[in-house]
Amino acid sequence: MAVALSVEMLFFSSLFLLPISVFSQNNGRVAVGSSRTASTGDSSSWLSPSGDFAFGFSPLGNNDLFLLSIWYAKIPETVVWHAYEDNNPVVAPGGSILNLTANGGLVLNNPQGGEIWQSGTTSGTVAIGVMKDTGNFVLQDENSGSLWETFSNPTDTFLPGQTIQRNGKLSSRQSKTNYTKGRFQLRLQDDGNLVLNTVNLPTDFANNPYFDTETTAGTVEGSEGRQLVFNSSGYMFVLRENGGRFTLTGPQGVSARDNYIRATLDFDGIFALYSHPKNFTGNADWSSPLWYKPDDDICQTLLEDMGVGVCGYNSVCKLKTDNRPTCECPEGFSFLDPNDIYRGCKPDFIQGCEEDELQGPRKDLYDVKVLTNTDWPTSDYVQLKPFTADKCNESCFQDCLCAVAVFRSETCWKKKLPLSNGRVDVSLNSKTFIKVRKDNATLQPPPKPIPDDKEKSRNAVIRVESALLGTSIFVNFVLSSAICLGIFFIFRKKPVRSSTDIVLDSNLRSFSYKELREATNGFNEELGKGAFGVVFKGVMQIGSGVEVAVKKLNYVMQDVEKEFKTELKVIGQTHHKNLVRLFGYCDEGQQRLLVYEFLRNGTLASFLFSDIKPSWRQRIEIAYGVAQGLLYLHEECSTQIIHCDIKPQNILLDDYYTARISDFGLAKLLLMNQSQTHTAIRGTKGYVAPEWFRNLPITTKVDVYSFGVVLLEIICCRRSVDMEGNCEERAILTYWVYDCYVEGGLDAVVDCEVEAMGDRTTLEKFVMVAIWCIQEDPSLRPTMKKVVQMLEGVVEVPVPPCPSPYTR
Binding residues for ATP, by number, are 552
Contact status, residue 580 vs residue 574, Cβ threshold 8 Å: no
Helix 784-792 / helix 616-631 crossing angle, nearest 10 deg? 150
Judge whether 645 counts as a catalytic residue: yes
Whole-angstrom distance, CA of residue 30 vs CA of residue 23: 10
User: Residue 86: CA atoms inside 13 Å, Cβ hemisphere, count?
Assistant: 13
SS3 call for 751: coil
User: Residue 693: CA atoms inside 13 Å, Cβ hemisphere, count?
Assistant: 10
The sign one gets for the Cα dihedral 555, 558, 562, 567 is: negative
Whole-angstrom distance, CA of residue 227 vs CA of residue 325: 29
Amino acid at 280: F
Concatenated DSSP letters for 107-151? EEE-TTS-EEEE---SSS---EEEE-TTS-EEEE-TTS-EEEEGG
Whole-angstrom distance, CA of residue 335 vs CA of residue 574: 34
The values of phi and psi at residue 8, to 5°, are -65, -40
Selected catalytic residue, list 52, 266, 340, 645: 645
**Which residues lie closer than 8 Å to 277 by C-beta, 6 or more apart?**
258, 259, 260, 284
**Which residues lie closer than 8 Å to 37 by C-beta, 6 or more apart?**
43, 44, 57, 95, 96, 97, 98
H helix runs in 687-757, sequence order: 701-716, 733-742, 746-749, 754-757
Closest CA to 285 of 264, 259, 265: 259
Contact status, residue 20 vs residue 121, Cβ threshold 8 Å: no
Cis link prior to 202 (omega < 30° from 0)? yes
The values of phi and psi at residue 28, to 5°, are 80, 0
Whole-angstrom distance, CA of residue 778 vs CA of residue 142: 43
Closest CA to 771 of 784, 780, 759, 761: 780
Task: Tell me the Ramachandran region of residue 751: left when phi exceeds 0, alpha when psi lies from -120 to 50, beta otherwise.
Answer: left
Q: Could you tell me whether strands 194-198 and 137-140 are parallel, antiparallel, or unpaired per DSSP bridges?
A: unpaired
Q: Could you tell me whether strands 162-165 and 225-230 are parallel, antiparallel, or unpaired per DSSP bridges?
A: antiparallel
Residues across the chain: 808
Whole-angstrom distance, CA of residue 391 vs CA of residue 670: 67
Q: List residues with catalytic annotation.
A: 645
